[in-house]
Structure formats: structure tokens, C-alpha cells
Structure 1
Amino acid sequence: MNVSQTMETEEDLLTCLHIKLYHPQQSCKGLYGLLPLGKRSRLSADDPLRLGRDAQTCNYVLLDPRVSRKQLSLHAYRTPQNQDMLFTIQNLSQRGRVSVNSSSLGYLERMDLPNKALIRFGEYEMLIVREAGEARGSFEVEFEVLGVPPSRETCMCEPTMSPVMDTGSCVMNGYPAEVRELGPLESDETLVYQS
């Protein structure tokens, strides 16, 4: 084999966004029928990744009438101080909010996407994990469907959370009532209460 065929090239080291999706009714609705699940797709860093229900304006489509035509977009960028490809997320929906970890984005608002982010819109939860790479002109995206909500699987606690108790549970504002009501199952018996 030729040496040039065995060497890694810059294109082998593309930054990859792992996008893990969850919807409570995903098993019976076929919501992800147009997504390339389980395989990597390459995108130009010049063009934003758009997710929504309109196949003409979005590169990735959710088959759900409750999703906006253009729900959100991810834009790649670099800074002079950092050679990594970074991303911003922008809410493109006029009728719904997108939340990123504990921050809510209104229409056309954008923010920097952390290396690991829990995105919510409607009943969807999306965990995006950025795998760093060295390429500059393009990046990859890999979609996967999760069987459980990523908020429960990863315990992505928001800054307004209560402390994590011995049970390992986290109680968070803004989460469904059944998650908020968990509360600690054990307490520190050495605490002395004064009235």
C-alpha cells in the first residue's frame, strides 16, 4: 500500500457533532424518518445546519407538524485564539422557545454552544456533544435516537438546582413535576435543628 494512502489527513479529523434525540412518542410516530440515523454526514462550515420540518429550507427534517418549519440552526465558527471549530445555536421559530441547558432563546436569539448541551423545544430533548477535530472547511454530524430523555440519563442539572444528595438525584426547576418532586431520600442525621 502506498504511504500516502495510509497517512491520516486533515479530512480524517473532522469536528463531529453527535446529536442524540428523544421525544416521548418517538416509537409510534416515525418522527426521524428523514434523518440519517447512525451514520456521519459531512457539512460545509460555510453553511448552517438547519433543523425543522421544511425539507426545502432545512438540511435535517423532523416529520412532526408541531415542529416549526425552521426550528433551529447551528453555525460553525473559529476564533483567532482557538483553532477548534466552535458553534452557535440560533432559535429560528417564531412561535416557540429553544432552551440550551438553563438558558432560553427567543426568536432569532443565538448563543455559543458548549461542548455538551441539552437542547429542548416542544417535547423534544436533544443532547449535542461536540467531538473536536482539526479540519477547518467542513464538519460532520451524526444523529442517534435515545430510549430515555437525555436530561434523566445524564442528570444535566441547571444552575438553579438543589444540591445533589446521597441518592444522586438532582432536583431542578423547569423540569417535569415528577422529576422536580423526587427530593432527597436520605438526610444527614448529624444536623441539629434549632427552633
Structure 2
Amino acid sequence: MSEPQTMETEEDLLTCLQVKFFHPQQHVKGLYSLLRLGQRTKHSADDPLKLGRDAQSCTFALVDPRVSRKQLSLQAFRTPQSPEMLFTIQNLSQKGRLTVNGCGLGYLERKDLPDKALILFGEYEILIIRESGEAKGSFEVELEVLAVSPSREMCLCVPSMTPIMDTGFSPMNTFSNEASSCGPLETDETVMCQSG
């Protein structure tokens, strides 16, 4: 008798989160010794993924006393309008802020993740890239370490780098931090000159 052929199912086409870590001192310390780097691992879509220093309560643990016991959570979700599996990120740290593409999240605040997101907390930079799939019940995660800072490659608006106009007036004083951190401000630089 021959072996039965396995049919390809939608579970073979899993959404994958590529999670790429960077820390300026990663070459000195064993920060990532508890992570399964370079391997795709399958996860149930109804269980949130947690990242922190507590290996007992977190799916992924970092060996760093400056990382919160539970730092962040990633949760899969779907909308009625789309078959895509999407993700939210939630800050689980009471001690520190988390930024997602330049927009800050306080304790227990959450945000939908875009297809490519740069997450910052402490000295860590984490680049998360979502590869689409068709499966509804599970997804994969692939972890790796980057040799160079991903923030150098992503274009983010940094509020402290907002240019000051010739008048010496800073537009930062009139707009909320959220507005200034989520996009550039544009001004009309046309100057009307009258000849005498």
C-alpha cells in the first residue's frame, strides 16, 4: 500500500510575523539566549504572545534585568471586512513607554500594528514585518537578530527634530505631541516681495 497523499490546506499558508531584534550591546551580553532564533514557530491565533524577562509567563523572554517582567503583548485579530490576520500591540510595562513607529503607548494602551512596525523600548529596537497568509486559526513567528539598528533604515518623524522657522517660533508649541509625532508639518515658504 502506498502512503496517503496529504492535501494542502489553508493552514499551510500561515501568516508570519518576522520579529527582528537589535540592542546596541547585544554582542557583549547573552540577551537573546532564551529565544529560538532562525526558526519559525507556530502559535494559536487566540493566544496572545508576550515578550518580557519572565520566561514562565512570557512566550519570548529576554535575559535583561532592565526589561519588564512582562514588556509587551501581540494579539491576533480579524475584521469582518477582511480575511487577513492582523495584530495589535499592547504595552504591559508599568515602568516604561513603548513606541510604535514614533507614536507612544503608555501602560495597557494598545495599537493596531501596520505591516511593518518599529517598536522601541529601553535600548531595544524591534522591527516586526507581517507576511500575509490565509490561515484563520494559527500563525507563525520567526525571530532573528539584526547586526545594525533598524531605525536607520526606517523613516520616522522624530518630534525633537522638527525644524524651527525663521521667526524663531517652534510649531511644536502649538500642536499636540501625537500630531507632531505621526507626520511632518508643512508650511508655505513663499515670500511675497515688493519692489520699490
What TM-score results when the alignment is normalised by the length of structure 1?
0.79
Are 1:151 and 2:151 matched, yes or no?
Answer: yes
Matched, 1:45 2:51: no
Equivalent residue for 1:80?
A: 80
The CA RMSD measured in Å over matched residues stands at 2.2
Residues 18-62 of structure 1: CA distance to partner in whole angstroms, max 9, x if unpaired? 000000000110100010100001111111000000011101000
Give, in angstroms, the shift of residue 11 of structure 1: 1.6
Whether the aligned pair in 2 keeps the contact of 1:53 and 1:65 (CA below 8 Å) is yes
Residues 65/14 of structure 1: CA separation in 2 closer, same or farther (3 Å cut): same
Q: Is the 8 A contact 1:35 1:61 kept in 2?
A: yes
- How far is 1:157 from its partner? 2.2
1:141 positional shift: 0.4
Aligned partners of 2:56 and 2:94: how far apart in 1?
18
Which aligned runs of 4 or more in structure 1 are off by greater than 6 angstroms?
none
Look up the SS of the partner of 1:104 in the other structure: strand
- Aligned AA (2:66): R
SS class of match (1:26): coil
Structure 1 residue ranges without an equivalent (≥5) = 164-193
Contact 1:118 1:156 survives alignment (8 Å) = no
Residue aligning to 1:4: 5
Match of residue 89 from structure 1 = 89
Shift of 1:162: 6.8
Name the residue aligned to 1:170. Answer: none
Corresponding residue number in structure 1 for 2:183:
none
The alignment's TM-score, normalised by the length of structure 2, stands at 0.78
What whole-Å deviation, never above 9, does each CA across 1:118-150 have from its counterpart, x for those lacking one? 000000000000000000111100001000000
CA displacement, residues 95-118 of structure 1 (integer Å, 9 cap, x when unaligned): 000000010000000010000000
C-alpha distance in 1 between matches for 2:79 and 2:103: 23
CA distance in structure 1 between the partners assigned to 2:109 and 2:154 by the alignment: 26
Partner SS, residue 156 of structure 2 = coil
Cα distance, 1:159–1:22 mapped onto 2, change above 3 Å? closer
Contact kept? 1:35, 1:62, Cα under 8 Å = yes
**What percentage of residue pairs aligned between the two structures are identical?**
67
1:88 counterpart letter in structure 2: T
- Offset of residue 9 of structure 1: 1.9
The number of residue pairs the alignment matches comes to 164
Distance 1:67 1:86, change over 3 A: same
